[in-house]
């Protein structure tokens, strides 16, 4: 086995030098962060059990980080309980009306049960492959949750420092110890914030934190104050330091669990999972962007599910990969599983050896650290988001944020999702459903029409309205469409038909079709035909469901917009005949309007007939039956063909008609110069006859009758410039 192969762990490269050094420092810094969270989770009646609580957090983080590092996509993750989830844990603790050992055991059991629930739900979501759905969690919800968490962490940090927001506690600041605890906490918090803005090195935070703790103890020594006296004055955490961090409980402690209370926390556990889910989605998105990696979210969900189950078995916490703690490993050139393994080992070391260190941490250091980590959350997600969001979105973010602070996470998340849905519907209703609107005057079909028919269509063209729809049809956008359709019926256009094309419609809401059915009925009462094109079978079935059979003649279903245009033209021609029957003078008016076009057409037709008379004796004439293929893609072409009589259709790849050709049209003009493969499919529409002009015969014509060859060239060039002839 090569050296490189030895430095592989499940396909991940191992870098021992940077992984060990960075892992040790990062592990210590993260241990400080976790202990700071423990300090606010295990408060009041739970404060004596803070040391065992730290063991639960350390063991859970070690299990989560180690498992995700070995089997997950990202090489050096840190998986733990995010700050907002820790705040939900605080809410769970405050809801337990118990004391002493019963409170601690019931609370820890609830947290372990939440880890199991989290693991099962992550496994279910990943197994059913719905993880990608959560990519669409609104930014305002996730940002509001993080900003609200930042404010709560700040308030908890200030409270731990003795700066309670309740006015009734302000008198305590007159006590020297409380005053200095508050001053030192704020000083450290501000120092950490400023230092991390100036220096980005990963050792800055642990260095300043350790320096502060050392100076604090030096200050106590110089003032002649013992650690026990300082602890009695509230300068240190009041925990049972004689006990070990692990195990968090023994078999004899199980009798203290109030199982009935545990099961009442199912709703709170579900809220905790929802918050963790949102934060996990945010972390995954940040990791994909920051690490330039593409994750299989379903696989990662399943891995996080197993990791949480293992954490629950080990008596740990629910958690997930935290991007803010993970991404720095890239910049530190320590993006290797060794980093995460060393971090996990550091946590285990704290479990068995850290009690002597943790009891020396002064509360001003812990509270100052909490103040420091709350500032980036508030700054990045609440303040800086103002420039990134519109006023309505930012207002929603602020509302979610302060709902978390004042009411709770469950209410805030529910409010955020409801508001996001409302704003989505409102915005979607303002997205134009109509991609384009025009009349037959603006665009006609490619069906061959006579000169008189073209003139009739031009005169009557405004009576055929065409609407091209796009996007998703739901009740909001459909309402505005139906109102516009109704206005067209009541206007001065004297409509004959309305074409609605659904080709670019991506989906529809069933309730939105009620308005469309109402329009069809109203149009029928005014003798206006509705032509629906490019509808799916399901859409057509839903529209037909409540349309009376008596309206079947007033609704037409076609497969494409082109066919819809052709049918609309037919409706206009029928209406013209009906109008002429009522007013014969109308025919003379149309004839007058066709004179210029008719004269031009007849001149061109005479030129073509004179040309083909001279060419007939020189080139081969070919007869085609109805629907016979004249040319087909990929087949070698013998030459250019002039359509002498009849009609032919140029077809698309799917068999639809692109346009029609009539007498005088030129088929494959390039093939008159050289033999090439055919690029289009042309089929006969009824019996027709063509004149085949091959390259060899054309070259002979140029030698024998140069003037006739020039006449042919001029005609082909003119025909190519004007497009296919659409008259007969």
Residues 445-450, mean pLDDT to the nearest whole number? 79
Is the pLDDT assigned to residue 725 strictly greater than 50? no
Instruction: Render pLDDT for 657-693 as a digit per residue (tens, 0 to 9).
Output: 777 788 888 888 877 777 777 777 888 888 898 988 8
- Over residues 564-582, the mean pLDDT reads 87
Give percent above pLDDT 70 in the chain. Answer: 90
Domains in the chain (CATH in brackets) are 3-250+259-422 (no CATH), 434-582 (3.30.750.24), 595-722 (2.60.120.10)
Residue 15 pLDDT: 64
pLDDT in tens, 144-157: 888 888 898 888 88
Check whether 727 has a pLDDT greater than 50.
Answer: no
Rounded CA-CA distance 483/693 in Å is 56
On whether the CB atoms of residues 523 and 490 are closer than 8 A, the answer is: no
- Helical pair 100-127 and 297-313, crossing angle rounded to 10 deg: 150
The pLDDT value recorded for residue 513 is: 77
User: What are the b/e assignments for 378-393, b being 16+ CB within 10 Å?
Assistant: beebbeebeeeeeeeb
Average per-residue pLDDT in the chain?
Answer: 83
Alpha helices in 199-240 (DSSP H): 204-223, 227-232
Which span out of 175-179, 257-261, 516-520, 549-553 was modeled with the highest average pLDDT?
A: 257-261
Residue 472 φ then ψ, to 5°: -100, 130
Q: CA nearest 297: which of 274, 320, 275? A: 320
Per-residue pLDDT, 109: 95
In tens, the pLDDT along 70-95 reads 999 888 899 999 988 998 999 999 99
Nearest to 88 by CA among 404, 362, 540, 334: 404
Average pLDDT over residues 160-186: 79
> Of the segments 159-163, 309-313, 327-331, 648-652, which one has the largest average pLDDT value?
309-313
Quickly state the pLDDT bin for 6 (edges 50, 70, 90). Answer: very low
The pLDDT of residue 61 is above 90: yes
Q: Residue 301 has what pLDDT?
A: 95
> What average pLDDT does the segment 534-539 reach?
86
What pairing do the DSSP bridges indicate for beta strands 497-508 and 529-533? parallel
Residue 7: pLDDT band with limits 50, 70, 90: low
């Amino acid at each position: 086995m090569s050296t490189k192969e030895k430095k592989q762990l499940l396909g991940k490269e191992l870098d021992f030098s940077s992984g060990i050094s960075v892992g040790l420092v990062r592990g210590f810094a993260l241990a400080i962060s976790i202990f700071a969270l423990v300090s606010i989770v295990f408060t009041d009646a739970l404060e004596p059990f803070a040391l065992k609580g730290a063991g639960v957090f350390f063991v859970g983080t070690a299990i989560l980080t180690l498992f995700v590092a070995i089997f997950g996509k990202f090489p050096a993750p840190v998986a733990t309980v995010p700050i907002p989830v820790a705040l939900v844990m605080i809410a769970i603790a405050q809801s337990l009306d118990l004391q002493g050992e019963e409170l601690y055991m019931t609370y820890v059991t609830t947290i372990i049960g939440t880890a199991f629930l989290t693991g099962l739900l992550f496994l279910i979501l990943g197994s059913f492959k719905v993880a990608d759905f959560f990519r669409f969690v609104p930014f305002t919800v996730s940002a509001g949750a993080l900003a609200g968490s930042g404010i709560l962490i700040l308030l908890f940090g200030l409270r731990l420092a003795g700066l309670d927001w309740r006015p009734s506690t302000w008198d305590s600041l007159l006590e020297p110890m409380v005053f200095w605890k508050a001053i030192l906490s704020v000083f450290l918090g501000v120092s950490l914030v400023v230092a991390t803005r100036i220096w980005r090195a990963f050792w800055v935070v642990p260095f300043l934190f350790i320096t502060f703790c050392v100076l604090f103890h030096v200050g106590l020594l110089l003032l002649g104050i013992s650690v026990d006296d300082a602890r009695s004055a509230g300068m240190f955490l009041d925990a049972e330091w004689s006990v070990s961090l692990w195990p968090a409980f023994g078999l004899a402690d199980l009798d203290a669990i109030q199982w009935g209370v545990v099961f009442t926390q199912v709703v709170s556990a579900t809220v905790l999972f929802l918050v963790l889910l949102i934060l996990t989605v945010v972390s995954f998105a940040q990791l994909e962007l920051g690490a330039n990696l593409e994750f299989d979210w379903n696989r990662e969900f399943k891995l996080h599910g197993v990791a949480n189950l293992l954490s629950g078995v080990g008596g740990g916490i629910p958690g997930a990969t935290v991007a803010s703690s993970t991404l720095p490993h890239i910049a530190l050139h320590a993006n290797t599983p060794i980093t995460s393994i060393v971090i996990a080992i550091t946590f285990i070391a704290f479990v068995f050896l850290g009690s002597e260190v943790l009891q020396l941490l002064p509360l001003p250091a812990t509270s100052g650290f909490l103040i420091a980590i709350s500032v980036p959350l508030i700054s990045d997600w609440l303040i800086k988001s103002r420039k990134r969001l519109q006023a309505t979105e930012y207002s929603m973010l602020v509302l979610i944020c302060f709902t978390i602070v004042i009411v709770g996470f469950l209410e805030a998340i529910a409010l955020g999702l409801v508001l996001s849905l409302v704003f989505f519907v409102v915005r979607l209703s303002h997205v134009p459903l109509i991609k384009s609107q025009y009349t037959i005057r603006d665009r006609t079909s490619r069906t061959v029409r006579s000169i008189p028919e073209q003139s009739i269509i031009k005169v009557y063209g405004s009576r055929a309205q065409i609407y091209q729809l796009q996007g998703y049809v739901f009740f909001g956008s459909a309402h505005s469409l139906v109102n516009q359709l109704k206005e067209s019926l009541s206007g001065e256009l004297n409509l004959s038909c309305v074409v609605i094309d659904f080709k670019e419609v991506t989906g529809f809401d069933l309730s939105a079709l009620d308005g469309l059915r109402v329009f069809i009925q109203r149009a029928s009462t005014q003798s206006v035909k509705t032509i629906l094109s490019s509808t799916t079978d399901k859409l057509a079935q839903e529209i037909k469901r409540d349309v009376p059979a008596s309206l079947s003649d007033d609704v037409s279903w076609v497969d494409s917009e082109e066919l819809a245009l052709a049918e609309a033209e037919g409706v206009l021609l029928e209406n013209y005949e009906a109008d002429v029957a009522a007013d014969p003078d109308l025919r003379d008016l149309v004839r007058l309007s066709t004179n210029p076009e008719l004269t031009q057409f007849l001149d061109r037709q005479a030129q073509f007939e004179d040309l083909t008379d001279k060419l007939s004796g020189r080139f081969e004439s070919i007869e085609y039956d109805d629907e016979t293929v004249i040319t087909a893609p990929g087949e070698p072409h013998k030459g250019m063909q002039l359509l002498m009589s009849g009609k032919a259709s140029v077809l698309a790849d799917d068999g639809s008609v692109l346009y029609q050709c009539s007498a005088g049209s030129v088929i494959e003009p390039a093939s008159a110069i050289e033999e090439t493969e055919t690029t289009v499919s042309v089929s006969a529409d009824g019996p027709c006859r063509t004149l085949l002009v091959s390259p060899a015969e054309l070259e002979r014509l140029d030698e024998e009758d140069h003037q006739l060859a020039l006449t042919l060239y001029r005609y082909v060039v003119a025909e190519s410039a004007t497009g296919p002839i659409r008259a007969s």
